[in-house]
Structure 1
């Protein structure tokens, strides 16, 4: 299981044809320049709702979400209430966690990442629910076994308590497999003109020095549901290849790279880089050709782009998210 903080900083690759609804929220303690609570809702890696404890409410971030709210005004009221309620819950929970870890001060971060994915071709649905504390996994829900996994001793008591709450387990499973996918489908329907658009990338071959790996870099594509790989003699390569993560650009598009260890001089014509984008039938193929490789300054420039994108992604992810609770009058999902 990957640490939650790492999972937030490096966006997971979404399979082709799959839509995602992800909730991130972050509670902080001892960080004077950052709100105590920040929440973000993302659809297909696009921010659609934002809130934090300093503004005291929720804000739509996309035109289609504003239209949805206009059609259903109670939708935003619900989100604003969630922001306020989650702030209070996170504040109390952080204090409990500090006691469990024998901490009396310092800087601490409590996070939750949960949501669902829906394949619009196969109708397959998948859900997940993870908690993290100070950059380490704290507890995670196993949807298959309907039990909680506790990787740290401090989470064992919480695991037993939540495992014994059959009503709570039923609610979480129902939310991840039924409610969340229905909301996701609704969001995709409202935002289809934006979310389902396609933008093809520019693809370049980059190499820092003659002995460095050759990097195939694609930038400016949308959506993020894309794949890129190297082929030799028409066969996809698994060895001598370093697959990079998909990173966001500041204009809402994405970029990614896949590196190939420098091949033997006589073999170059046998290699090609292939880019595939969800919703686009034809692949973009870039054949390995020395004359088309950008070196030194081009590679340095792309390094700066990657670094800037990583910082942008981190800034977005550290904002945290909303908790989808039971309706008013019912028990909350986080049990202290």
Structure 2
């Protein structure tokens, strides 16, 4: 299940329809599979792993934090998808057994893949399902839910196509799964994660700079999902020149981070106030805007801390006190020796 937010509503280019998608990736292998699981199923949500199962570990595991929450908050649903995913292995192997007979692969390992899921347009409420099979790394069959027929990707798949086109029960099952069940699950996960997002802290956005001659990096972290836009603008206009945009990367806690570097080598210091960094995240109503201000930039340049200053001041005071005491003792000793008669001894016998 891969729930992907495509066509993110980017305010720089006008509002577009927001599409969500969900995808299952399934693979079964046979033959010499020492380093390959005999069967696995992976579900992705927002391009991030949701759940995973394979015949090596034999456990249906939640990958992301929100999936662990789903397992805890809705155990019945979790039980259903877990059992279906595990039991589907036998069905999958039986229905794709004929692929080997029509494949050019001889000996070694046979790998059959299945990718299926659906899309949901949030604006129009339209849904669209997809189902594809692959054999040993090549496309094999694609299902058309509008005509309830199969499309062969190569001559080897034609025999299977004819058999499956005549299987009305199989085709009706897949059509219902792609047009009804899948969109229902998709919306369930979408609204579930949105409720979690409402409780999550706002992402952190900072300005970073390695040295005074380095680009200023606008760094956003702690956001979820990973459909975010981070960009620089000047006087309200988007900047593309002298800007290097980084990729969205995962954090250990399941959130994401992204950066965008701005080269200011040719910009006068008095013009810095015209620049700002803008962070947009799906599900976050307001943009996070960070003005370019030299005092707000975190840098690697060493700064003297207040504690260090206090230590230095105390050290100086102590040193002056010691010097003053030595001078005082010296002068006092000179006065005492001057008041005594020559040859008089103060030693007590």
Question: TM-score normalised to the size of structure 1?
Answer: 0.60
Unaligned runs of 5+ in 2: 10-17, 302-349
- CA deviations 1:172-220 (Å, max 9, x no partner) are 4443232211122334455654365444333345678999987644221
1:23 maps to 24
CA distance, structure 1, for counterparts of residue 160 and residue 211 of structure 2: 53
Is contact 2:208–2:219 with CA below 8 Å preserved after alignment? yes
- CA deviations 1:95-121 (Å, max 9, x no partner) are 835861333215x65433322343556
Q: 1:190 to 1:228 in 2, by over 3 A?
A: closer
1:105 maps to 108
Unaligned runs of 5+ in 1: 1-7, 297-336
How far 1:265 moved relative to its partner? 0.8
1:279 maps to 283
2:127 maps to 125
How far 1:62 moved relative to its partner? 1.7
How far 1:253 moved relative to its partner? 0.8
| SS in structure 2 of the partner of residue 265 of structure 1 | coil
- Which shows bigger deviation, 219-228 or 124-133? 124-133
1:330 maps to none
1:80 maps to 83
Q: 1:165 to 1:33 in 2, by over 3 A?
A: same
Q: 1:66 to 1:259 in 2, by over 3 A?
A: same
How many pairs were matched up? Answer: 282
Is contact 1:94–1:110 with CA below 8 Å preserved after alignment? no
- CA deviations 1:239-265 (Å, max 9, x no partner) are 7766655343221112234566x4661
How far 1:283 moved relative to its partner? 0.9
CA distance, structure 2, for counterparts of residue 209 and residue 229 of structure 1: 21
CA distance, structure 2, for counterparts of residue 87 and residue 58 of structure 1: 16
CA distance, structure 2, for counterparts of residue 124 and residue 82 of structure 1: 27
CA distance, structure 2, for counterparts of residue 142 and residue 243 of structure 1: 39
CA distance, structure 2, for counterparts of residue 266 and residue 196 of structure 1: 39
2:266 maps to 265
Q: Which of 1 and 2 has higher RCO (CA within 8 Å, sep 6+)?
A: 1
1:38 maps to 40
| SS in structure 2 of the partner of residue 100 of structure 1 | coil
CA distance, structure 2, for counterparts of residue 151 and residue 242 of structure 1: 40
Q: 1:249 to 1:154 in 2, by over 3 A?
A: farther
> What is the Cα-based RMSD across aligned positions, in Å?
4.6
| SS in structure 2 of the partner of residue 266 of structure 1 | coil
Q: 1:20 to 1:215 in 2, by over 3 A?
A: farther
CA distance, structure 2, for counterparts of residue 246 and residue 39 of structure 1: 25
CA distance, structure 1, for counterparts of residue 136 and residue 277 of structure 2: 39
Is contact 1:197–1:223 with CA below 8 Å preserved after alignment? no
CA distance, structure 2, for counterparts of residue 173 and residue 207 of structure 1: 54
Q: 1:154 to 1:249 in 2, by over 3 A?
A: farther
Is contact 2:25–2:41 with CA below 8 Å preserved after alignment? yes
Q: Of the two, which has the highest radius of gyration?
A: 2
Alignment match of 1:179 (pick from 181, 200, 208): 181
| SS in structure 1 of the partner of residue 34 of structure 2 | coil
How far 1:171 moved relative to its partner? 4.6
| SS in structure 2 of the partner of residue 101 of structure 1 | coil
- CA deviations 1:280-315 (Å, max 9, x no partner) are 22212245567837689xxxxxxxxxxxxxxxxxxx
How far 1:276 moved relative to its partner? 0.7
1:306 maps to none
Is contact 1:198–1:223 with CA below 8 Å preserved after alignment? no
- CA deviations 1:45-88 (Å, max 9, x no partner) are 56554322235464565233344234x6xx62564244233256
| SS in structure 1 of the partner of residue 83 of structure 2 | helix
| SS in structure 2 of the partner of residue 182 of structure 1 | helix
Q: 1:65 to 1:159 in 2, by over 3 A?
A: same
